[in-house]
Amino acid sequence: MAKLDIVRAARKALADNGFTADFEPAIASEVAALDGHSPTLSDGRRDLRALLWSSIDNRESRDLDQIEVSERLPNGDIRVLVGIADVDALVPKGSAIDEHAAHATATLYTGLAVFPMLPERLSNELTSLLPNVDRAALVVEFTVDGRGDVAHEAVYRALVRNRAQLVYEDVAAWLAGGAGEPYAAAVVVGMAEQVRMQAEAAARIQSARKARGALELDTGEAHPVARDGEIVALETVVPSASRDLIAELMVAANSSIARYIDEHGRSAIRRIVRTPKRWDRLVELAKSFGDELPEIPNRVALAGFVERRRVADPLRFNDLSLAVVKMLGPGEYLRERTGEAVGHFGLAVPEYAHSTAPNRRFPDLVTQRILKAILDGAAPPYADGELDVIAARCTEREAAARKVERTMRKIAAALLLTPRIGETFDAIVTGATPHGTFVRVVDPPAEGRIVKGEQGLDVGDALRVKLVATEPSRGFIDFVRI
């Protein structure tokens, strides 16, 4: 059998789902014109380069969108500053680069290959908040009190300098007491105390969101791991204090920015997750575990059920989480006017706007332009009708991106499972539609279709399956119910 070219497979998956893998020639000219660019203190930027900014991201990440710093106030509150890369400064609205970003809407990560929304000369260099270089940023500032409530938001331009590029796994091990502080933090006086303060602020925010019914789920989603040009494993992201730190500060920053825009009477694109339409199925799922949920959707009650299952059966919590996510339904982008707020059901926040990843997501770049217009006292950069079109496009492209990523996970899983045809596995139903019934197995974390015995199955059902066939080139994995 011929060796499967994974990169070619990834490019085909992109094309099949309407994505363009390459940048147009006009973009190269725009990027070349940026050579020699260096940000300055123009446009009213504050000079915040002396602060102990740091980033925490994946080890291989170069497209750093945000950095953080904090300060303990006399009353015990913690002031947090999140610096967001000022991508708009180098990617003006209507440019060829902007048009490509609007079409792609996000960077795609497929395991062996990354297809960036912006040219890497920008996202990995000129607009990336890399360590020890000056960068233009938009800063969102907020305070976190002892209860975890977030208030006193401000947004402004600044010139910043990342003092320590940290890695999730290293920071997690250090915070857990299993390792010394990361080298990048150890060589900067005061950085260790700074990161611990950020972790404290994040823990406060997380505690407050949990009290409001935020869902703490862990789907155990797997990502292909490549070595020497080949897929060698499917790896799940392990929850940790370092990931919680960034996640909570980003939730607070995105919520603060949504409120800031709303207070200034501007329309914006919000990230929403509606009240679940399949609440009845969630009620049934709880009953199957001897638990109860009210007939009317209640976020706090659902969060309580989820937490009870985490404690009762941690080994199968990933499966439960996946079932809950499927029944909640996907998030979407929606243009909202002042005073309107559908909210984010899963995060337990009433207002939420993607804004902290403008190198990787187009809605964040749009939000950034809206913020800068407010700061400048200028007219909105987008009419409401434009925002409607962008929101719909981003929602549609996100669904297409999930298909690409799911295809690549299935190709990787099929490659890894081919030698195991004939084996049996524990599985959980992840999808039940007229087009087929799909299940996920645990080791390796892979999803496939039930080709025999699928009658009567629904999302969340547990069963035993036998692997009967794989077709890696198409990402097909076939199981039968036993």
Kindly report, residue by residue over 89-110, the tens digit of the pLDDT.
999 999 999 999 999 999 999 8
**Residue burial 170-192, b: 16+ Cβ < 10 Å; e: rest:** bbbbbbeeeeebbebbeeeeebb
What pLDDT is stored for residue 236 in this prediction? 86
What pLDDT is stored for residue 6 in this prediction? 87
Kindly report, residue by residue over 64-84, the tens digit of the pLDDT.
999 999 999 999 999 999 999
Kindly report, residue by residue over 265-319, the tens digit of the pLDDT.
999 999 999 999 889 999 999 999 999 999 999 999 999 999 999 999 987 898 8
Residue with tokens 């962008």: 390
- 333 phi/psi in degrees, rounded to 5: -105, 140
Handedness of CA 179, 184, 188, 193 (dihedral sign): negative
One-letter identity of residue 421: I
Kindly report, residue by residue over 392-441, the tens digit of the pLDDT.
999 999 999 999 998 888 899 999 999 999 999 999 898 888 889 999 88
Q: Does 338 have pLDDT greater than 80?
A: no
**CB within 8 Å of 367: residues ≥ 6 apart:** 257, 261, 268, 269, 353, 354, 355, 358
What pLDDT is stored for residue 182 in this prediction? 96
Query: Is 163:52 a contact under the CB 8 Å cutoff?
Result: yes
Kindly report, residue by residue over 449-474, the tens digit of the pLDDT.
999 999 999 888 889 999 999 999 88
Confidence grade of residue 329 (pLDDT, cut at 50, 70, 90): confident
What pLDDT is stored for residue 123 in this prediction? 97
Kindly report, residue by residue over 111-129, the tens digit of the pLDDT.
778 999 999 999 999 999 9
What pLDDT is stored for residue 2 in this prediction? 53
Q: Where in the chain is the domain with CATH 2.40.50.140?
A: 421-482
- 21 phi/psi in degrees, rounded to 5: -80, -25
Crossing angle for the helix pair 384-417 and 362-376, nearest 10 degrees?
150
Domain 421-482 has CATH 2.130.10.10: no
Mean pLDDT of all residues in 347-358: 96
Q: Does 164 have pLDDT greater than 90?
A: yes
What pLDDT is stored for residue 409 in this prediction? 86
Q: How far apart are CA 176 and CA 194, in angstroms?
A: 16
Q: Does 52 have pLDDT greater than 50?
A: yes
Distances from the Cα of 35 to the Cαs of 24, 65, 95, in angstroms? 18, 20, 17
Mean pLDDT of all residues in 58-63: 94
What pLDDT is stored for residue 1 in this prediction? 43
> Cα torsion at 118, 162, 138, 21 (round to 10°)?
10
| Chain mean pLDDT for the chain | 94
Kindly report, residue by residue over 125-151, the tens digit of the pLDDT.
999 999 999 999 999 999 999 999 999
**CB within 8 Å of 11: residues ≥ 6 apart:** 21, 113
What pLDDT is stored for residue 207 in this prediction? 97
Total-model pTM: 0.91
* CA-closest candidate to residue 13, choices 297, 365, 410: 410
**CB within 8 Å of 192: residues ≥ 6 apart:** 181, 185, 186
HEC states along 79-128?
EEEEEEECHHHCCCCCCHHHHHHHHHCECEECCCCEECCCCHHHHHHHCC
